[in-house]
């Protein structure tokens, strides 16, 4: 035993002499020494009970000042790695456990996902380069340079009140919705909105009607929440036992159609009679190019309708701000659901966004983007008609940020094949069939145009034409 202690002591002595300190490093010598000694203990080279040389000896061995070794040893005593015994010097603490080597890490997960580069024709993304950054930065600066006291108090979990008022005013002007600011709840986006609604309104096993086709992550989120998604029937009455219907009446996602008035009224009537809820997902209806925007479904019957909006398409996905408008009867339930997780929307952009929405610049920006996106839709249709007239067939769409392209007679590939091949040349095309469960839908392709300048789309369509009809050189500009 004494012999094995001797060996350990000799090993420790050698290990100590092997410590190398970098005199040119930014880290102080005593920090380097502390870390080196800590590692000797943690690696088992210095075992519990082993005696360290005196600080003076250690200083001499390592060619450092005695103050350096004293500081390092004191720090390790404070941290519990070393203990001192009166007159006997410094020892590795004896109450440290015997350490096993780490078990091999068995996790074989997928690789981390980095950002998805923005390539034509990624749908649903606004053109961030046209955002009025200077105006926005000024609002941020003004809101936070000398923040009003309410901004420093504990925040209202339902959102910054002036932003809720600005949203109510915007919805009145643009969407025909008559609501009080107190009915508006700010969230970090549509996903959190739907999570809050799921927790507030439903219990696992409830049936929720969704549109078919529809936004695939919505179906997945409902399943994740323990709910049973069911297709909303196109004709006839919704099933009696469903608790809610989630719909995109202003502009069906992804088809872009508008829900006709009789169907809106029948849906409201069903909700009124059954005590069910209608969740109106109004994701991009401000971008309507011909005629006045159709009023929101909520403007027809506010007592059983929940309106869901977001600033991701309207302004910028970087904001991470969305909102919902609730019938007053639901405010308590949703605020209880929110108190379980706490609010997730950052307060930082909220006062700036409120001031921006209250200014003329906001409506000016929306009108400008409406013109830009309308022009881009024309540019995309023109390019498709020129280079792929027999492959992809489109109709002018009075609104939105993407076009649905139907297969023409010359297209010999499936929509999934087109999307896969387009991805190899750096183009993002979404197969329409994938918007149905199990990708069983009709053939087509969804092409976003809002984020792309006409030149970029011309080039991309030409590349796509070369891919789909490799024999014939496309006609130049």
Q: Which residues within the stretch 416-475 sit at the binding site for its own copies (CB under 8 A)?
A: none
Smallest gap from residue 422 Cβ to its own copies (A): 18
Smallest gap from residue 321 Cβ to its own copies (A): 7
Is 240 an interacting residue with respect to its own copies (CB under 8 A)?
no
x/- mask, its own copies, residues 27-66, rule CB under 8 A, reads --------x--x---x------------------------
Radius of gyration of the chain (CA): 32
Smallest gap from residue 146 Cβ to its own copies (A): 7
x/- mask, its own copies, residues 190-219, rule CB under 8 A, reads -xx--x----x----------------x--
Is 89 an interacting residue with respect to its own copies (CB under 8 A)?
no
Compare residues 247 and 338 and give the one whose CB is closer to its own copies.
338
Is 158 an interacting residue with respect to its own copies (CB under 8 A)?
yes
Among 7, 23, 97, 438, binds its own copies (CB under 8 A): 97
Subset of 278-307 contacting its own copies (CB under 8 A)? 291-292, 294-295, 300-301, 303-304
Smallest gap from residue 128 Cβ to its own copies (A): 4
Is 79 an interacting residue with respect to its own copies (CB under 8 A)?
yes
Sign of the C-alpha dihedral, residues 48, 51, 52, 55?
A: positive
Subset of 115-154 contacting its own copies (CB under 8 A)? 115-118, 122, 125, 128-129, 131, 133-134, 136-138, 140-147, 151-154
Compare residues 75 and 458 and give the one whose CB is closer to its own copies.
75
Among 22, 23, 101, 205, binds its own copies (CB under 8 A): 101
Compare residues 315 and 392 and give the one whose CB is closer to its own copies.
315
x/- mask, its own copies, residues 303-332, rule CB under 8 A, reads xx------------xxxxx-----x-xxxx
Is 390 an interacting residue with respect to its own copies (CB under 8 A)?
no
Q: In the numeric block, which tokens belong to residue 410?
A: 């010359």
């Amino acid at each position: 035993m004494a012999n094995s202690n001797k060996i350990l002591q000799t090993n420790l002595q050698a290990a100590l002499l092997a410590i190398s300190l970098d005199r040119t490093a930014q880290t102080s010598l005593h920090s380097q020494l502390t870390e080196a000694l800590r590692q000797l203990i943690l690696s088992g080279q210095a075992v519990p009970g082993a005696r360290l040389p005196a600080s003076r000896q250690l200083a001499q061995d390592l060619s450092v000042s005695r103050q350096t070794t004293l500081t390092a040893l004191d720090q390790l005593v404070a941290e519990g790695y070393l203990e001192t015994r009166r007159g006997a010097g410094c020892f590795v603490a004896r109450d440290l456990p015997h350490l096993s080597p780490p078990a091999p890490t068995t996790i074989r997960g997928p690789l981390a996902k980095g950002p998805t580069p923005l390539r034509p024709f990624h749908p649903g993304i606004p053109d961030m380069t046209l955002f009025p950054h200077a105006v926005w930065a000024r609002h941020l600066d003004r809101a936070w340079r000398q923040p009003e006291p309410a901004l420093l108090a504990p925040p209202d979990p339902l959102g910054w009140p002036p932003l809720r008022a600005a949203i109510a005013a915007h919805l009145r002007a643009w969407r025909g919705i008559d609501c009080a600011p107190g009915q508006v709840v700010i969230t970090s986006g549509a996903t959190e909105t739907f999570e809050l609604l799921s927790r507030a309104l439903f219990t696992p096993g409830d049936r929720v009607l969704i549109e078919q086709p529809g936004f695939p992550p919505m179906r997945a989120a409902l399943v994740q929440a323990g709910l049973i998604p069911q297709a909303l029937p196109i004709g006839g009455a919704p099933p009696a036992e469903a608790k809610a219907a989630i719909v995109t009446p202003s502009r069906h996602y992804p088809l872009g159609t508008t829900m006709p008035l009789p169907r809106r009224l029948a849906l409201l009537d069903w909700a009124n009679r059954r005590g069910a809820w209608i969740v109106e997902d109004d994701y991009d209806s401000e971008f309507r190019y011909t005629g006045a925007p159709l009023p929101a479904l909520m403007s027809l019957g506010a007592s059983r309708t929940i309106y869901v909006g977001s600033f991701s398409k309207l302004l910028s996905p970087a904001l991470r701000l969305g909102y919902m408008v609730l019938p007053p009867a639901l405010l308590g339930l949703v605020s209880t659901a929110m108190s379980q997780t706490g609010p997730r929307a950052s307060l930082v952009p909220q006062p700036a966004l409120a001031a921006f929405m209250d200014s003329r610049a906001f409506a000016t920006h929306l009108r400008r983007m409406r013109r830009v996106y309308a022009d881009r839709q024309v540019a995309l249709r023109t390019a498709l008609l020129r280079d792929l007239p027999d492959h992809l067939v489109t109709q002018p769409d009075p609104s939105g940020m993407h076009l649905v392209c139907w297969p023409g007679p010359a297209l010999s590939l499936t929509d999934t094949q087109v999307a896969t091949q387009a991805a190899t040349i750096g183009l993002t095309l979404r197969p329409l069939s994938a918007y149905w469960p199990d990708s069983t839908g009709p053939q087509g392709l969804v092409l976003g145009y809002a984020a792309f300048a006409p030149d970029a789309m011309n080039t991309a369509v030409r590349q796509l034409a070369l891919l789909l009809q490799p024999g014939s050189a496309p006609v130049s500009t």
